[in-house]
């Protein structure tokens, strides 16, 4: 495991107090704003990809490959192709590219 530090999470996060007087660490993250059904759709797509290509196979691809495939899925959707869940596949590929960019 690497020594990854997520900004805004950990012992140095500043405290905050809510309107009821409850105290906790402040967080810049709003996971509550992410649509739960879309996240399940994303996770299902990632799981099916792992079954087909292997777990973490996307890490063996270049960031450009993941971006290109995201664009392909978006254009396929825009062209009216509904044989695949192109939006979920595009979202997955963009997530993979963003993860690669973090490294």
pTM of the model: 0.85
List the domain boundaries for the chain: 31-102
| CA–CA dist 53, 37 (Å, integer) | 24
The set of long-range contacts for 1-10, using a CB threshold of 8 Å and a minimum separation of 24, is none
Give CA–CA dist 26/16, Å, rounded: 5
Distance between CA 52 and CA 59 in Å, rounded? 15
Q: Quote the tokens at residue 6.
A: 């997520």
Q: What is the pLDDT of residues 9-56, one digit of tens each?
A: 988 899 999 999 999 999 999 999 999 999 999 999 999 999 999 999
pLDDT exceeds 60 at position 1: no
Structure token digits, residue 31:
């996971």
């Amino acid at each position: 495991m690497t020594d990854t530090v997520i900004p805004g999470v950990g012992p140095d996060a500043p405290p905050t107090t809510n309107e009821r007087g409850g105290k906790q660490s402040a967080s810049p993250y709003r996971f509550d704003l992410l649509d739960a059904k879309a996240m399940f759709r994303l996770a299902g797509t990632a799981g099916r990809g792992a079954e087909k290509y292997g777990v973490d196979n996307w890490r063996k691809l270049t960031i450009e490959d993941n971006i290109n495939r995201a664009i392909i899925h978006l254009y396929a959707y825009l062209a009216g192709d509904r044989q695949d869940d192109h939006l979920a596949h595009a979202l997955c590929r963009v997530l993979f590219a963003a993860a690669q960019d973090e490294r």
